[in-house]
A and B are shown apart, each in its own frame.
Chain A
Amino acid sequence: MNSSLERSRKIRTAGVYAFFIIGSVIMIFPFVWMFLTSFKTVEESMIVPPTILPAAWQSGSYNKATASLPFFALYKNTILMIFWRVVCAVLFSSMAGYAFAKLNFKGKNVLFSLVLIQMMLPSQIFITPQYQMLAKVGLTNSIFGLVFPGLVSAFGTFFLRQAYLGIPNEIAEAAYLDGCNQWQTFVKVMAPLTKASMAALAVFTAVFAYGDLMWPLIVNTDLNMMTLSSGLATLRGQFSTDFPTMMAGSLLAMIPMVVLYLFFQKQFIEGVAMTGGK
């Protein structure tokens, strides 16, 4: 009786492992294939049936990719866009989230409804007027242009308001009695208590800014002002049959985020799980 139970548990565990191993192969194979293809020559990539490992590890595709795309500028633009979007989202959303959660003021509900309206509307409805505003003042093809739609975050405000609602009022009152004014209470006492939520918002903002394609494509059409995502879209047009070069470009574009992910895997996943439901 006991041994048959033991056996069925073993079979179940083996089944779970089999599932995970097959699943992992499906999830990882495309990236392995991308990596291997990027070191092949165009001719070798077109051999049927394909070679698994490159006959000789060629870096020619990387030279071609970096020659046609200014990768240094793309990295810089992408990093600056992510940096400013994260800073703005975390800073302004913390301030507003705290005020909406903990302070009393006239018009609070009306102002908070602006946050809810933004969250309900898809971002594409804002794109054309946002672009036209920037075009009017000549700020397309700039870092500011890339950051522009992310200057404030309705989702971040909503999310951090939830975090502040979870903190008991007594803590703020104690700080207040100790002689802190509202701003000091917020910066020194309350904000540090939402560290985990701020980190989650930062990860969430960074991942989505990095993947965003439509806005960078529209606002920055100058190759030197593109992001990694929109730059790749240009590469696609140039090398439509040269897959090793496209794989090399894609690999260069994805590496920074994947490296960060390898180090902060837990923070990434938990950050996104925490903000989940957006």
Chain B
Amino acid sequence: MAGNAKSGKLAKSESMWAYLMVAPTVIGLLVLNIYPFLDTIKLSFSKTRPFGLYELRGVENFVQMFGSPEFWRANWNTLYFCILTVPLGILLALVVAVMLNTKIKGRTFFRAVFFLPMVVAPAAVAMVWKWIFNTEYGIINTLLAHKINWITDPNIVMITCAIVAIWSAIGYDAVLLLSGLQNISKSYYEAASLDGATKLQQFFHITLPMVSPTLFVVLIMRLMSSIKVYDLIYMMIEEANPALTSAQSLMYLFYRESYVSGNRGLGSAVVIWTVAVIGLVTVVQFWGQKKWVNYEV
């Protein structure tokens, strides 16, 4: 009886401590995230009025958004950016990771070199690439002996942004993939070597299936951040650039609608749409992973 009372008291003090310890995080999440999430939904159904006021207007913003060619163009730009960066970026990162996994001198140094862009603010990265890709004086055009409008030609601008994005992310993805590769037991390769499997066969029959869970994580992460791409394009393409509409991603459109044009209702509608797209892509990914991700080992 006494023991029960004591354990009841203990449990009570335990939960008291627990509430105190989660309080900052829970209050913070409610104020900083849950309320803003609901408020953005409300904003997307509202019209911006002067003096920070809003007026509920039903689906007006969504009607305007779906009727806007700029919006559909931003969808296409975002999709195009994903197509250009995700498969090639992950492939290159996998190659770098496999190379970093070989026993050679200086691999720590090379790993550090590939990772370097991660610690440089995207704003600074964009500035130097803008200079390198400059039409008149850029070093790339000098080397190519052609005047390619890397940043102002609507047909090329997205490729330029994709090159910079891949260059920026390759080391990060490679480091994640490398930790997946290092978890593969050496004994698989030894057994395969004894059976006479070539390096290439070993890669496709051992490495690829064994690293597929990590590959899946990297794919999800890269896809998410590509859909949300903003800072790089914002820094590369300014307001006056003739190729702006050809490079404007969904999040760039959100920023411009909300904070340049001041139409936060429409901006919020763009965010809601993007969240829906991300949700859909995630569901498809998790459904599709069953076909190629190997969790056996």
- B-binding residues in A (CB < 8 A): 13, 16-17, 19-20, 23-24, 26-28, 30-31, 33-34, 37, 45-50, 92-93, 95-96, 98-100, 103-106, 108, 111, 114-115, 117-118, 120-122, 124-130, 132-133, 135-136, 148-149, 151-152, 154, 157, 181-183, 186, 207, 210-214, 217-218, 228-230, 232-233, 236-237, 240, 243, 246-247, 249-251, 253-254, 257-258, 260-261, 265-266, 268-269, 272-273, 276-278
Contacts and interface: CB of A to CB of B under 8 A. Distances in A.
A121 B275 contact: yes
Contacts, number: 279
B26 A111 contact: yes
Contacts of B116: 27-28, 31, 258, 261
Given A120-B282, A126-B36, A228-B123, 4 more contacts: A49-B142, A104-B14, A261-B112, A277-B217
Which secondary structure characterizes the binding site on chain B?
Answer: helix
B122 interface: yes
Given A93-B25, A152-B24, A229 B137 contact: no
Contact of B175 (A16, A132, A269): A269
Contacts of B24: 92, 95-96, 152
Which secondary structure characterizes the binding site on chain A?
Answer: helix
A30 B40 contact: no
Nearest to B176: A276
B19 A207 contact: no
B213 to A, nearest CB: 10
B294 interface: no
A269 B102 contact: no
B195 interface: no
Interface residues of B, number: 90
Q: Which 5 A-B pairs have the closest CB atoms?
A: A152-B28, A129-B36, A182-B17, A96-B25, A105-B15
Given A121-B275, A129-B36, A272-B175, A103 B128 contact: no
A157 B29 CA distance: 11
A104 B175 contact: no
Given A20-B110, A95-B22, A253-B121, A128 B258 contact: yes
B131 A33 contact: yes
B75 to A, nearest CB: 15
B30 interface: yes
Interface string B258-297: 1100001001100110110011001000000000000000
B37 A121 contact: yes
B114 A154 contact: no
B106 interface: yes
Contact of B142 (A48, A104, A114): A48
Contact of B21 (A17, A103, A125, A212): A103
Contact of B127 (A13, A16, A157, A247): A247
Nearest to A176: B10
B197 interface: no
B26 A114 contact: yes
Contacts of A243: 131, 134, 137
Contacts of A247: 127-128, 131
Nearest to A227: B121
B253 to A, nearest CB: 11
A108 B99 CA distance: 45
Contact of A269 (B111, B132, B224, B275): B111
B131 A122 contact: no
B268 to A, nearest CB: 6
B124 interface: yes
Nearest to B39: A129
Contacts of B230: 124, 213-214
Given A48-B142, A183-B17, A258 B111 contact: no
